[in-house]
Structure 1
Amino acid sequence: MQGIKMKPFIKWAGGKTELLPVLEGNLPQQIRENKEIDTYIEPFVGAGAFFIYLASNYKFNKIIINDVNHKLINVYRVIKESYDELIKDLLCMREEYLSYSEEEKKEMYLRIRDEFNDWENTNKIKQAANFIFINKTCFNGLYRENKKGGYNVPWGKHQNPSIFDEEQLKNISRLLNLKNESGQDKVTILCGNYKDVDKYITQKTLVYMDPPYRPITESGFTAYNKGGFNDDSQVELANFFKQISDRGAYSMLSNSDPKNFDENDEFFDELYSDFNIDRVYASRMINSKGNGRGKVSEILVTNY
């Protein structure tokens, strides 16, 4: 599917669309020469900007995407397996929403949010449509869960949102349904802990890890799901990075740069001291305050 420009179908905190040129520039040389690397794995796929870009522009025999958020992974699976039904639901929802007054739009959003939180009693195709709908009509495109796992972001007062791009979703569905040279599905969609991908990692694997970022302020956001991701989790992830590096896999990892908040904070510099650490810059657009959006540095760790 080279030559087709695709972008993520949802907004996601920490999305990598703007950083794509930097990430591509830091890929191992072997991937450009179509040598040695035949599998791409992304354990924290999120909105999938880098996955979509790499799968569209580079040749892999196998691609594995994973995320712990089962509601997000359900969207990927529905786009892959039930695209036509998903589009029908989204078309109906968009037509209904745009026909309403402002107060009715808010009421519809809250009704869909309640249905989304009643996860087990709604079919999974409708829940995928609900996910996309609330992502495009909620406050600031934020995904946040409370401790009970309930989505709790308020309505964003959007009056005329596009909600979805049918051609974009069709291309992503085609991407997810690509076959390898053996006629098997090229893309495998997993849902679970990032360590679940371990059994797929070999010396011919490129792994890109984009975990929940370590907050760079005391009020920093990590509530992508009810599980949370604290400093102990970051240390555990660094150990995983070291383990797969010892195995010979090509590994790249993104995270926040604590030095944005405290220039003396060496947390990641010490944690990844055995590897290459670059500081790159990206605009962070998902922020509750407009003056909190702008260029900040991030770290990019590679083992090659």
Structure 2
Amino acid sequence: MTLILTREDYFPSPGMPVAVVDRSPQPSFPPHRHQFSEIVLVWRGNGQHVLNDRPWLVTCGDLFYIKDQDCHSYDSVNDLVLDNILYCPDRFKLELDWSQLLPLHDDKQSAHWRLTTRGMALARSVIKQLVQECRKNDLLSLQLTEALFLQLALVLRRHRYAIDSLRLPEGEQLDLLMAVIQANPGQPLDLASFCQRHHLSERALKQLFRQQTGMTIGHYVRQLQLCQARHLLRSRDGLIGEIAARCGFDDSNYFSVVFTRQTGMTPTEWRQRFIGATQTKTEKRRLMASGRSSD
């Protein structure tokens, strides 16, 4: 059964539009929905974030916009530290077109973005101020809270970039590397050539990556490929060998071994698990449409 997180449990007063929940660290958390919207910003560590049944490997700089009707959960976490910025659009008093700043109402836009290193520094400063103001109940604090949330939304809008973008972000070395990896997770990464092209120290980049994510670059790439494989096995009808190749595995047998070790199921078992669940949901919808409830 999916948990429902209520406004009363997280907002200090009925009029407060924003609340900040610091997860240091974020534990594994079962599937849940909210009576509010949410921005998730990951500061360090790593883990699996499942949003509307799609798994995402997350680490520092990952940014999610969660709608109130979305369902998400956290699993396989490793020192995962993040902030949840909760907000209730119906409580905003500023007459703004928030849809231009928060990609929540356009299904064509992904809920998952990345934030540059510069953007993270700016966002951290605004969030610290938000934490102080959103705990108060006076009128001035309510107004300051909404103004600070607007500032945060603008910072995120300016410094975020799509994970599948072919254009590199204007950021630091970690931003450049993450953009290249996430744009082509199934392609081999030539780290030496990447560092030479961008005039970076390969050793320093490896150290920085491990410090910020808790993983080596190779481990991160492999986990990203497996995350993509889990999604494709569930959403596509292609042969398992074709999916393995698309995710960067030349040997389908090796892919099966690695996938089974990671998930506890073979690729076929993983796919069958969700085929059964999808069929059950389809049957329930059919019965409800015909006027018969299937409790």
User: TM-score, normalised to structure 2's length?
Assistant: 0.28
Which one scores higher on RCO, CA 8 angstroms, separation ≥ 6?
1
Structure with the higher fraction of residues in strand conformation: 2
